[in-house]
Amino acid sequence: MTGTVTSKHSTDVKGAYVAAVCYDAEGAIVAGGEDYFTVASGKSAAVQVDLNWNQKPKQCEMYPSLGGASEATS
């Protein structure tokens, strides 16, 4: 799965975490994956997440976040 993450931070972000969660038509989770990404301050970056499938999803969402391993640089 490929998505776009846009930074609203005033500094570059390195090693940020993104989780992808995919749902079936009834809203049950049927696939998911995770990865790390880097994005420049105020810019967008494409993020690729390899998914582990239980069945073909109807929709997927990406949830980016900063974690303990993330680094914001100027």
Confidence (pLDDT) at 20: 95
16 vs 3, 11, 71, 74, CA distance in Å?
14, 13, 7, 15
pLDDT tens, residue by residue, 30-43: 999 999 999 999 99
Domain spans, the chain: 2-67
Q: How confident is the model at residue 72 (pLDDT cuts 50, 70, 90)?
A: low
Q: 66 and 19 in contact (C-beta within 8 Å)?
A: no
With 0.85 as the threshold, say if the pTM is over it. no
Confidence (pLDDT) at 69: 55
**What single letter denotes the amino acid at residue 17?**
Y
Confidence (pLDDT) at 23: 95
